[in-house]
Every structure is written in C-alpha cells, then in structure tokens.
C-alpha cells in the first residue's frame, strides 16, 4: 500500500498544466549518462533531474537549442548529446568577466571551454550584453534558461519586454522557450536579494512578448521551501522550490 501511495504522489508531482508527465526517451536518458560529463555535474543529477527536463522541453536529435546564460555548462553538455551531431547548441552568456586579480589572466568561461572540447563539437559559444537581447546565426527550436531569469531582471537598464521579444524572434514558429527558476512568494520583489522570482511575473512578461503559455512541470517543486530564504542558504541550496514554465511561439 505504501509503495502505491508513493507512486501516486510521484505522478501527481510530475503532472503539468499541459497534460500528464511522460517518461524521458532513450536518447534523453543517454544524453544524461554521457561519460564525458564532469563528476561535479553528475552529482547534481538527483536534484536537478536533467532527463525529465529534456523531456519537458522536448529536446530531440537534430534540433538547434540555446542554453541562455549557461553558467558552468551543466545543461550545455547534456543538450549537446541530446541534439546529436546533426544538431547545434548555442551557449549564450554575457561578456566574460574580468580577472579579480589584474596580475593574472581572467578564467576562461565554462561555455568557451565546452565549445573547445572535442566531446561537444556541436556547441557554439556566444558572448553578448544581455540588455542587447538574444542574437544567434539561425532560428532555434528551443531556448532554455535555468535559474537565471531573475538575474536578467537585475541587469542595469534592462527592458524585459525587449529581452523576451528578442527570444521570441530567435525561435522558429512553433519553437519553445523554457524558464526554470527559484520561486518567490506571490508579489515579492526579491530578484537581487533572495535570488527568486514570482512565477506569475515571468508568465505575464513572457506572454506580453507574444508567447503562448503551454504548461508547467512540478518535478522540482518543494513544498517545504517557504520562499523566505536566499537560494544560497546552506540547508536549502540545491533544494529550493523551483518552477519550470514552457511557452510556445505560435506557428
């Protein structure tokens, strides 16, 4: 009986607004199992559930995917294997940060290191000011950003409508924009303090750019997170209540 209740609860958590949760396919599972991924990344898989994220985003072989603000490249490597040799991944981040020590060279951004790695030869690195919007050489099937939409809100002089419209314009008709971020309490403005964002704000802003809201995954939801602590709080880090929204550009 306990096992049946546990299974029912797990399925309930995995239901999205767009329909029932579907299992990752073999290609998505294989992408996560890539032996070239660093151990620091694979240790986070239990918390970040990357195969489920690939399934929700609909990442497939041969696609063009944008990993927007890729950070350490956790998802960049996974997307590379998921789209395969006929696909392309654009890792798009802001300008490289200067060295904290003027006497030493600045560290190489992770997205540049990944793009130079023969194991991820379909990854292309792009650095551009975020306030200028998103510009890639071709139209994308998927634009993905994880735990960073709230950071874009903190960019000086950023216009979120312009930013979201640039993402809209970068997608093929029918393409999707997926936003994964740390949830804030309704109405809370804490993007630069707790590093969270009200999901309703994301939905309103992205829809204003022309996107149609398609659904939500609750795979990373955590009801024990009361949204009052910073996401870097040691006991909470890696276990925040996170929302994943999918928006589609109409055909």
CATH architecture of 23-96+104-248: 3-Layer(aba) Sandwich (3.40)
Residue 3 DSSP symbol: H
How far is the C-alpha of 248 from the C-alpha of 228, rounded, in Å? 31
Q: For position 102, what pLDDT does the model report?
A: 83
Q: Would you say 180 and 243 are in contact if contact means Cβ atoms under 8 Å apart? A: yes
How far separated are the first and last CA of the chain, in Å rounded? 46
Q: For position 98, what pLDDT does the model report?
A: 83
Q: For position 2, what pLDDT does the model report?
A: 38
Rounded alpha-carbon distances, angstroms, from residue 56 to 24, 35, 38, 227? 8, 23, 24, 24
Beta bridge partners of 146: 180
Exposure of 198 by Cβ count < 10 A (0-12 exposed, 13-18 middle, 19+ buried)? buried
Q: For position 10, what pLDDT does the model report?
A: 39
Residue 220 has a CB neighbour count (10 Å cut-off) of: 22
Low-confidence ranges of the chain (pLDDT < 50): 1-20
**Structural tokens at position 209:** 């750019």
């Amino acid at each position: 009986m306990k096992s049946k209740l546990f299974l029912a609860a797990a399925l309930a958590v995995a239901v999205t607004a767009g329909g029932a949760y579907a299992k990752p396919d073999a290609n998505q599972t294989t992408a996560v199992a890539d032996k070239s991924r660093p151990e620091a990344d694979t240790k986070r898989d239990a918390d970040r559930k990357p195969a489920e994220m690939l399934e929700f985003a609909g990442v497939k072989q041969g696609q063009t995917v944008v990993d927007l603000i890729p950070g350490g490249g956790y998802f960049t490597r996974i997307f590379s294997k998921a789209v395969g040799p006929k696909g392309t991944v654009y890792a798009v981040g802001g300008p490289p940060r200067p060295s904290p020590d003027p006497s030493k060279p600045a560290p190489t951004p992770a997205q540049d290191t990944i793009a130079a790695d023969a194991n991820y030869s379909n990854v292309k690195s792009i650095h551009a000011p975020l306030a200028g919007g998103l510009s890639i050489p071709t139209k994308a099937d998927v634009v993905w950003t994880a735990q960073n939409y709230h950071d874009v809100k903190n960019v000086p002089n950023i216009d979120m409508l312009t930013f979201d419209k640039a993402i809209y314009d970068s997608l093929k008709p029918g393409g999707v924009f997926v936003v994964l971020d740390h949830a804030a309490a309704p109405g809370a403005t804490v993007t630069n303090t707790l590093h969270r964002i009200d999901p309703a704000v994301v939905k309103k802003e992205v829809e204003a750019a022309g996107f149609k809201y398609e659904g939500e995954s609750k795979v990373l939801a955590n009801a024990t997170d009361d949204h009052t602590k910073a996401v870097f709080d040691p006991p909470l880090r890696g276990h925040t209540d996170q929302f994943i929204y999918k928006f589609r550009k109409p055909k």
